[in-house]
Structure 1
Amino acid sequence: MTQSKPNRPLQVLQLTDPHLMADPHGELLGVNTRDSLDAVIAQVQVDGREPDLILATGDLAQDSSAEAYQVLTDRLAQFACPALWLPGNHDDAVVLGHAAGAVGGQKQLVMGGWQFLLLDSSVPGHVHGELSDRELAFLERALARSPELPTMIALHHHPVDVGSRWMDNIGLRNRDAFWAIVDRFPQVRVVLWGHIHQPLDQQRGDVRLLASPSTCIQFAAGSADFAVADLAPGYRWFELHPDGALATDVVRAENFEFSIDLDSTGY
């Protein structure tokens, strides 16, 4: 079991929705997704961040290609820590699993006094999310076995409405089943996701609900229909204490120069 560095809380980096492609010139609405990921990683390094763990929370590839996942592998190799991967709706879970390997493909990790549980909410051929009976059983079993460990649950699809009609239609469909399990276990401190390409910070009882900017394009908050925002890509950072206390912030790569197609009606 990997331990955090002594005398400081566990440092966790979330990178989400890079939408990488086999084509090195591949763009999403005018933004080269490799360049934008590079800019975010450079920002992490400029900020002096030294993660103990990286969570890559889905839509890691736009085209589900092995080449795109290799790009992510190469980029994450800049950090001397493990990275856990989970699939989003643009990913091929099988191809991603091969790329992630034994370490990156772990669904459960105990580190720095915390438990991390990663769920696959992807539904092949669909944009919305759903947790299979197998995923729900894994979640319940893992929580029941470690009631003493503060826990972060990560998945790709949002399990609550986020105030954007088009996004709320493609969130987690069986969220009631998810919350029926989570609500029984007070050790759950955080539910974290990607998919919505924007930061969100809410509270549900004692559970912190968090979403984060994409490392490529950003969706406009509160939009009824598909819309993007002229905002820089970014990352989320956590400091996690063994007693369950946490601090988190979002940082954007403001120096990244890009031109986004604000008139797009989809991607």
Structure 2
Amino acid sequence: MSQTDNRRALRVLQITDPHLMADPAGALLGVNTRESLDAVIGEVLRCHPEPDLVLATGDLAQDGSAAAYQVFRDKLACLPCRSLWIPGNHDDRTVMAGVVVGSDVACRHVVLGGWQFLMLDSSVPGKVHGELADAELDFLADTLARNPGLPAMVVLHHHPVDVSARWMAEIGLRNRDAFWHIIDRFPQVRVVLWGHVHQELDRVRNGVRLLASPSTCIQFAPDSDGFAVEALPPGYRWFELYPGGTFDTGIRRADSFTFRLDHNSTGY
């Protein structure tokens, strides 16, 4: 779906769910997650080498270790832009904050290129599902109310709508009605973007584009009743955002990355 105008585009990338570990040999279902992230960043450098912003949308670490977050930070250092991070259900938000302290990666509201980006923490310590605390909902509503003239991208980790993989129904955003009640009040919201589902999704709800993206490691199979993966390459999402609120977006995959996926696993 193309929605372009002729003004200079803001170039934004979503990198999600790398599931890095302190152990350099750490693997998820047979896939070394550092190597798969390297392959994705290599694809970024080939195809989108000069982004203006990177959105890192959770499950940055599998083990919640400081070493994993340091690896992620160091791997992003090859890109000439700032990055914004949010935690997922596998992350340790306190450890992550300690690694990124003193930089702007922990910013929750950024205005850039005629757009605003709102970064929400949907993680619940010790749980796989997501929920937005009252403070997060207040932040979302108050920030949108203060900035009515800027097109907005709202970013979180957990899916706020059902996806076709039915086993994921219980691990999405639990208080989605409260979330959508706020989103529906603000017509400047153009995009809701998330990670967690390890698969591509593109829908429209009440004029808002709903987008999910491949993981930089393993991919979950759509249309599955129970946990299932598919042998698609890792990838990322790119955006070209225009000041009037129009945009283009797409998925790139690291097709040259070779891996042997463990299809027998019953979870991750």
Q: Partner residue of 2:188?
A: 187
Equivalent-residue separation in structure 2 for 1:210 and 1:78 (angstroms): 26
Query: Structure 1 residues 183 and 48, CA, compared in 2 at 3 Å: closer, same or farther?
Result: closer
Gaps of 5+ in 1: 1-6
Q: Is this contact kept in 1: 2:199–2:222, CA < 8 A?
A: yes
How big is the shift at 1:48?
4.2
- Report whether the alignment pairs 1:12 with 2:12: yes
Q: Partner residue of 1:150?
A: 151
Query: What is the letter of the counterpart of residue 123 of structure 1?
Result: V
C-alpha deviations, 1:168-195, integer Å up to 9, x for none?
Answer: 2100000000000000000000000000
Q: Partner residue of 2:4?
A: none
Q: Partner residue of 2:201?
A: 200
Equivalent-residue separation in structure 2 for 1:182 and 1:139 (angstroms): 9
- Report whether the alignment pairs 1:240 with 2:241: yes
Q: Partner residue of 2:73?
A: 73
Provide the identity percentage. Answer: 66
Normalising by structure 2, what TM-score?
A: 0.96
Gaps of 5+ in 2: 1-6
How big is the shift at 1:163?
1.7
Equivalent-residue separation in structure 2 for 1:40 and 1:266 (angstroms): 23
Equivalent-residue separation in structure 2 for 1:188 and 1:86 (angstroms): 19
RMSD over aligned Cα, in angstroms? 0.8
How big is the shift at 1:50?
1.4
Q: Partner residue of 1:4?
A: none
Q: Is this contact kept in 1: 2:49–2:79, CA < 8 A?
A: no
How big is the shift at 1:49?
3.2
How big is the shift at 1:100?
2.4
Equivalent-residue separation in structure 2 for 1:164 and 1:257 (angstroms): 25
Q: Is this contact kept in 1: 2:17–2:217, CA < 8 A?
A: yes
SS class of match (1:232):
coil
SS class of match (2:193):
strand
Query: What is the letter of the counterpart of residue 222 of structure 1?
Result: D
Q: Partner residue of 1:221?
A: 222
Normalising by structure 1, what TM-score?
A: 0.96
SS class of match (2:94):
helix
Alignment: residue pair count: 261
Equivalent-residue separation in structure 2 for 1:92 and 1:211 (angstroms): 22
